[in-house]
Amino acid sequence: MAQARAEASARKHRDVAATLHAAAAHGQALTVSTLAAAAGVSRQFLYSRPDLMDGLRRHQERNPAAGDRPLHAARAADLVNAQNTIKRLKGEARELNRKLDAGLAAQLELRDEKRLRELYEHRGHEIERLLAQNADLLRTVSQLREQVRSLEDDLAVERTAIRELTGQPANVTSIRFSDR
């Protein structure tokens, strides 16, 4: 690839030199833009080659034209165009950054919403587990109350039997645990 780029650069350099030679032979005035267009290269290519720019300056000194701008005026116009392009690109970059910020905010909001759903789902599972555990505990409490009632009944029978055997009066009040 490097070799292909070097060959393309050499070809462009030859095309610019040939265009300068032909313009000199015909006495044509040239600017950076007209030379670049005639040679089929970009103005940036010309600006990046000091030897070609020096050749263009010498050509302009030998072949001045009343309607043509000198090189520094062409550079000033290129600079104004570049500044306008920079302004436009900065505006586009600001707009793209605004859209990016909005997209990131929406993504964070969505991520937060997903996290909340996960938390609710997790808490829902936790609540279901606790409700099931509560139901098990209520069944256990109910079973224990039944056992207590049964034991209280057994105790009452035992007390009655002891009173009858010992001949004690039946004025003892029975004690029962309340159902809570």
**Given this model, what pLDDT does residue 122 score?**
78
Of the candidates 43, 44, 40, which has an alpha carbon nearest to the alpha carbon of residue 19?
40
pLDDT for the residue 17: 92
pLDDT of residue 66: 43
Residues across the chain: 180
Give residue for tokens 């950076």.
32
Where are the domains positioned within the chain?
A: 2-68
The parts of the chain modelled with pLDDT lower than 70 are: 65-74, 169-180
Residue 62 makes CB contacts below 8 A (sequence gap 6+) with 24
Please report the pLDDT score of residue 177 as a whole number.
60
The pTM score is: 0.37
* Contacts for 49 with CB less than 8 Å, ≥ 6 apart: 13, 16
